[in-house]
């Protein structure tokens, strides 16, 4: 049974403008999925529906077999960790420590708990624990929301625009965290405009276009498609530079990953030199 | 005759009240109308604080902070009037007035505060709505917009003022590629008649837009000059998000000849074909 399952989900905030039209997809517990799309395509709305902050107008949503809603929220938060697009919508405790512990306390854990300690170490927050979240830099606030979600040790995570407005050091922290999640066998979904980042860290791509699911495919398959660039363009997106460059430099070496790309080029260079 | 810079900073430093270290120290640059400055650097380097100082926000709201060096706006005159400065904040939700019920009214809001005549307000709304492709959102309540849509609205509101000095703090945050293109086009349009200062992590954008770039690290000015010199210089740029094609060129060829993606691709293509022939 799929972990997150949307079946013909439709939703609108007001009567005249539906945000999602009949969206269906299912994600397994250990999958790593990116969700892309232009602004206003309904990506963040899908997140809010998945955790039960809103109820769908039509269709159904199941998370680990449970229908997300306000009454079932207690069960949902044990299954999906979430970082919202705007950190200020999420943070409300008066210290970094309290913010990270807030969810854990509800589950009976405290500061000595293993996952709290590990998450603090993972994000290098030990110096910041007594600070007020609003004294943090916006980029660190975003890290805090992601760290708070990971501290909950749920099997699945949804991060909305995790790389928005952050610089290289924070990006490296997030990459490290995603890597740890992968090793621990946890699944995640990244909602992102940063396709290069999404393609490096996910195995499957979903694209929303004006509330319709336009693409749902494994990333390697999608990138091998001849018109992958055209499909993204049709949906208002742009192929990141590395796959574009590798396609232009040497056909059939399409890869989303920059280190792979460099090593492939190096290999080609050495193998062609060795050839008689 | 050399033109007087419209904005001049000389050894400018600022420390927030009660802070244990300066937000930034010894920053110097000059900017003419029609020029664009990019400010880069990792988080907590003092980029936003520097924008606040240029806009006069620090001086007004934290007068107890310690300031040294010179900041001259419009050389002879002490200040460009606040009405002529546009500021796009990093948090797009902070930009909304909260006092209006439609996107159009939100664009009109700050113009109304400045006493702009109604017919001109009307023109500016039409101009900005078409510039940022907001037609389908014009009647929506600003609070119902998505993150990226709110960003576009924030940009439209500030550009509607036709500012002489526009400060943008990470304007591409939560925008999709098409939105970024709209932003670049819009900035290119007002560039001729205004000074632009952009804080941005995406060096691609800095490269496409800016005449000068300033690199701040922990409040210290590491570099000030033309964007192409930033990558060919010996400065340690590992804390910056270098565009991947520049990095590829550097890793494969050991040097960076150019900043343009097309030229870089051509260089790599030459490298590739010559290596396959040997």
Query: Could you give the CA distance from residue A186 to residue A152 in angstroms, rounded to a whole number?
Result: 12
Q: What pLDDT does residue A276 have?
A: 47
The answer for B 142-171 residues in CB contact with A (under 8 A) is 144-149, 151-152, 170
- φ, ψ for residue A24, nearest 5 deg: -130, 130
Which of helix, strand or coil describes residue B236?
Answer: coil
Q: Under a CB-based contact definition with an 8 Å cutoff, are residues B142 and B102 in contact?
A: yes
Q: Using alpha carbons only, how large is chain B's radius of gyration in Å? A: 20
ipTM score of complex: 0.75
Query: Could you give the CA distance from residue B78 to residue A82 in angstroms, rounded to a whole number?
Result: 48
Q: What pLDDT does residue B79 have?
A: 52
**What single DSSP character describes residue A11?**
E
Interchain proximity B245–A241, CB inside 8 Å: yes
Mean pLDDT of B252-260: 70
Query: Could you give the CA distance from residue A138 to residue B92 in angstroms, rounded to a whole number?
Result: 12
Q: What pLDDT does residue B168 have?
A: 95
- In DSSP terms, A21 is beta-bridged to none
Q: What pLDDT does residue B76 have?
A: 40
Query: Could you give the CA distance from residue A8 to residue A18 in angstroms, rounded to a whole number?
Result: 13
Task: For the beta carbon of residue A161, count every other beta carbon within 10 angstroms.
Answer: 23
Query: Could you give the CA distance from residue A68 to residue A70 in angstroms, rounded to a whole number?
Result: 7
B99 touches chain A (CB under 8 A): no
Q: What pLDDT does residue B88 have?
A: 93
Which of helix, strand or coil describes residue B172?
Answer: coil
Q: List chain B residues with CB under 8 Å of A39.
A: 146-149, 151-152, 174-176, 179
Distances (CA, A) of B87 to B15, B164, B165: 22, 11, 9
pLDDT tens, position by position, B22-55: 999 999 999 988 899 999 999 889 999 999 998 8
User: Is residue B173 predicted with pLDDT exceeding 70?
Assistant: yes
Query: Could you give the CA distance from residue B86 to residue A3 in angstroms, rounded to a whole number?
Result: 47
Q: Under a CB-based contact definition with an 8 Å cutoff, are residues A144 and A136 in contact?
A: yes
Chain B nearest-CA distance from A9, in A, is 19
Q: List chain B residues with CB under 8 Å of A237.
A: 176-177
Interchain proximity B43–A139, CB inside 8 Å: yes
Q: What pLDDT does residue A267 have?
A: 74
**What single DSSP character describes residue B136?**
G
Q: List chain A residues with CB under 8 Å of B244.
A: 196, 240-242, 245, 258
Interface A–B counts its CB contacts (< 8 A) at 124
Q: CA of B19: which chain A residue's CA is closest?
A: A135
Q: List chain B residues with CB under 8 Å of A140.
A: 43-44
Q: CA of A271: which chain B residue's CA is closest?
A: B276
Q: Under a CB-based contact definition with an 8 Å cutoff, are residues A139 and A166 in contact?
A: yes
Q: CA of A17: which chain B residue's CA is closest?
A: B140
pLDDT tens, position by position, A209-261: 999 999 999 988 898 888 888 999 999 898 888 777 777 776 555 566 666 77
Chain B nearest-CA distance from A215, in A, is 17
Q: Under a CB-based contact definition with an 8 Å cutoff, are residues B232 and B258 in contact?
A: no
- Chain A interface test: which of B19, B145, B177 (most A C-beta within 10 Å): B177
Please name which of B184, B190, B189 lies closest in space to residue B171, comparing C-alpha atoms: B184
Q: What angle do CA B18, B21, B23 make, to 5 degrees?
A: 95
The sign of the dihedral angle between the CA atoms of B147, B152, B157, B161 is positive
Instruction: Delineate the domains of chain B, giving CATH numbers in brackets.
Output: 7-80+164-242 (3.40.50.300), 96-161 (no CATH)
How confident is residue B277, by pLDDT bands cut at 50, 70 and 90? low
B42 touches chain A (CB under 8 A): yes
Mean pLDDT, chain B, integer = 86
Tell me the residue ranges of DSSP E strands in chain A: 4-14, 17-27, 32-37, 58-63, 80-83, 156-160, 187-191, 204-209, 212-218
Q: What pLDDT does residue B274 have?
A: 73
Interchain proximity A14–B91, CB inside 8 Å: no
Q: Under a CB-based contact definition with an 8 Å cutoff, are residues B75 and A200 in contact?
A: no
Query: Could you give the CA distance from residue B72 to residue A168 in angstroms, rounded to a whole number?
Result: 32
Q: What pLDDT does residue B1 have?
A: 40
Query: Could you give the CA distance from residue A78 to residue A1 in angstroms, rounded to a whole number?
Result: 18
Query: Could you give the CA distance from residue A63 to residue A61 in angstroms, rounded to a whole number?
Result: 7
Q: Using alpha carbons only, how large is chain A's radius of gyration in Å? A: 20
pLDDT tens, position by position, B117-167: 999 999 999 999 999 999 999 999 998 898 899 999 999 999 999 998 899
pLDDT tens, position by position, B221-236: 999 998 888 877 778 8
Residues of chain A with pLDDT under 70: 250-259, 269, 272-276
Q: Under a CB-based contact definition with an 8 Å cutoff, are residues A241 and B244 in contact?
A: yes
Tell me the whole-structure pTM to 2 decimals. 0.84
User: Is residue B74 predicted with pLDDT exceeding 70?
Assistant: no
pLDDT tens, position by position, B185-233: 999 999 888 899 999 988 888 888 899 999 999 999 999 998 888 877 7
Q: Under a CB-based contact definition with an 8 Å cutoff, are residues A224 and A256 in contact?
A: no
How confident is residue B259, by pLDDT bands cut at 50, 70 and 90? low
pLDDT tens, position by position, B56-72: 888 888 888 898 888 87
Residue of A39, A165, A248 with shortest CB distance to B149: A39
Structure tokens given for A36: 């892309």
**What single DSSP character describes residue A41?**
S
């Amino acid at each position: 049974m799929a972990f997150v399952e949307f079946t013909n989900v439709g939703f609108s905030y007001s009567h005249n403008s539906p945000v999602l039209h009949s969206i269906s997809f299912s994600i397994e517990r250990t999958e790593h999925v990116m969700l892309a799309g232009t602004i206003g395509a309904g990506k963040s709305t899908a997140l809010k529906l998945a955790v039960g902050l809103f109820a769908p107008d039509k269709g159904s949503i199941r998370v680990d077999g449970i229908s997300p809603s306000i009454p079932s929220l207690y069960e949902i938060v044990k299954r999906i960790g979430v970082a919202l697009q705007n950190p200020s919508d999420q943070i409300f405790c008066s210290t970094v420590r309290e913010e990270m512990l807030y969810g854990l306390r509800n589950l009976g854990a405290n500061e000595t708990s293993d996952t709290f300690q590990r998450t603090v170490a993972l994000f290098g927050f030990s110096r910041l624990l007594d600070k007020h979240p609003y004294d943090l830099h916006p980029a660190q606030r975003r890290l805090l929301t992601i760290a708070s979600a990971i501290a909950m040790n749920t099997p699945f995570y949804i991060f909305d625009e995790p790389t928005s407005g952050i610089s290289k050091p924070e990006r490296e922290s997030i990459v490290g965290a995603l890597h740890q999640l992968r090793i621990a066998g946890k699944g995640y979904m990244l909602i992102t405009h940063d396709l290069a980042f999404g393609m490096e860290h996910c195995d499957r791509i979903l694209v929303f276009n004006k509330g319709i699911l336009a693409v749902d495919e494994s990333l390697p398959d999608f990138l091998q498609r001849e018109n992958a660039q055209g499909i993204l363009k049709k949906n208002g997106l742009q192929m990141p530079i590395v796959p574009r460059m590798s396609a232009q430099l040497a056909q059939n070496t399409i890869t989303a990953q920059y280190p792979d790309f460099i090593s492939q080029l190096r290999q080609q260079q050495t193998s062609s030199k060795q050839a008689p | 005759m050399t033109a007087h810079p419209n904005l001049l900073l000389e050894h400018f430093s600022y420390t927030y009240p009660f802070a244990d270290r300066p937000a930034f120290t010894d920053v110097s640059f000059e900017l003419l109308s029609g020029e664009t400055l990019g400010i880069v650097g990792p988080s907590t380097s003092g980029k936003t604080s520097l924008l606040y100082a240029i806009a006069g926000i620090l001086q007004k709201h934290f007068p107890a902070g310690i300031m040294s060096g010179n900041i001259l706006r419009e050389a002879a005159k002490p200040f460009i009037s606040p009405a002529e400065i546009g500021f796009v904040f990093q948090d797009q939700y902070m930009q909304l007035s909260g006092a209006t019920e439609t996107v159009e009214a939100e664009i009109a809001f700050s113009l109304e505060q400045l006493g702009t005549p109604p017919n001109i307000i009307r023109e500016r709304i039409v101009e900005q709505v078409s510039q940022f492709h907001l037609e389908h959102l014009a009647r929506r309540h600003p609070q119902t917009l998505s993150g990226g849509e709110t960003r576009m609205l924030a940009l439209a509101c500030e550009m509607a003022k036709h500012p002489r000095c526009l400060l943008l703090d990470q304007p591409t945050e939560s925008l999709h590629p098409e939105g970024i293109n709209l932003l670049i086009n819009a900035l290119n349009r007002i560039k001729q008649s205004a000074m632009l200062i952009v804080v941005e992590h995406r060096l691609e954008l800095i490269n496409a837009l800016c005449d000068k770039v300033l690199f701040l690290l922990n409040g210290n000015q590491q570099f000030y000059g033309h964007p192409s010199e930033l990558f060919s210089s010996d400065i340690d740029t590992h804390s910056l998000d270098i565009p991947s094609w520049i990095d590829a060129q550097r890793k494969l060829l050991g040097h960076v000849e150019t900043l343009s993606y097309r030229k870089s691709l051509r260089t790599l293509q030459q490298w590739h074909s010559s290596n396959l022939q040997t």
